[in-house]
Structure 1
């Protein structure tokens, strides 16, 4: 399994992430972060992403391979050339 890299906020409340391969990039939407953190502060988002990094990486791999991750990670979207 790949490791997850946090690339920072997307400017709309979501968070950009990528697999360590560099080719697979994703967006964790603002509404998912807000639901999971109870608010949306950047530090809370980063802590949640770090705690769930293996699951988020698995969701990105599933999306990359054409599948659908389990909820609530099914709301993560691929971005860039992979979409």
Structure 2
């Protein structure tokens, strides 16, 4: 059985909450079904540059409200790439 191949892992779309650094993205591995990923979280350093990505961890109310605001767009995009069942 072959291991993970990063060449087969495609990011199809991405949304980032500027306030909290949380990232939602749609990924597809090889010919598999596209799926939504919650995280990582990319926070800013004091100088304004990005820190290293970290796990999303627990979601704040700001994260939840941001997801609530964009969920229809995310759902539509995921539905478009998954196609009819």
- TM normalised by structure 2 equals 0.33
* Structure in which a larger fraction of residues adopt helix: 1
Q: Specify which structure has the higher proportion of strand.
A: 2
